[in-house]
Amino acid sequence: MKSIEDLKKIREETLKNINLRKEDNDHAVRVVVGMATCGIAAGARPVLAACLEEVRVRNLADVAVTQTGCIGVCRLEPIVEVFTPGQEKVTYVKMTPEKARRVIAEHVVNRQVVSEYTIGAAE
């Protein structure tokens, strides 16, 4: 950082990332990543990072990416749940960063569930 402009730029980027995690829009799609120790051990951190990055790159204003504790199906971690207003939640299991990017592109953007990644397909 060499100038006040550099500091302002860092501040703007940080605020954008914080806003990606806000849940105060009732009309927003919520993408929730299980981040308990079981999820983290299975690779949830890179999945969360991929979700955040994909939402940022696509400039999706009505999408909130958040984290939660244990979802309860540790053997299927990392788990990502997508909540779309007016619809049932969709639970994606055994996620990877690549799968997470696909879920954002197909489910969140195009409203097409990626059924081969869902909890029903994994069992």
Q: Which of 12, 31, 35 is nearest to 22 (CA)?
A: 31
Q: Which of 74, 109, 110, 68 is nearest to 94 (CA)?
A: 74
State yes or no: pLDDT of 15 exceeds 90: no
Q: What is the pLDDT of residues 44-65, one digit of tens each?
A: 999 999 999 999 999 998 899 9
Count other Cβ atoms within 10 Å, centred on residue 113. Answer: 16
H/E stretch holding 53 reads helix 44-58
Q: Which of the four pLDDT bands, split at 50, 70 and 90, describes residue 91?
A: very high
Q: What is the pTM assigned to this prediction?
A: 0.78
Looking from the CA of 59 toward its CB, the CA atoms found within 13 Å total 0
Q: Which of the four pLDDT bands, split at 50, 70 and 90, describes residue 76?
A: very high
Q: Write down the CATH superfamily of domain 4-122.
A: Glutaredoxin (3.40.30.10)
CA–CA gap between residue 86 and residue 25 (Å, rounded): 14
**90 DSSP assignment:** E
CA–CA gap between residue 101 and residue 122 (Å, rounded): 19
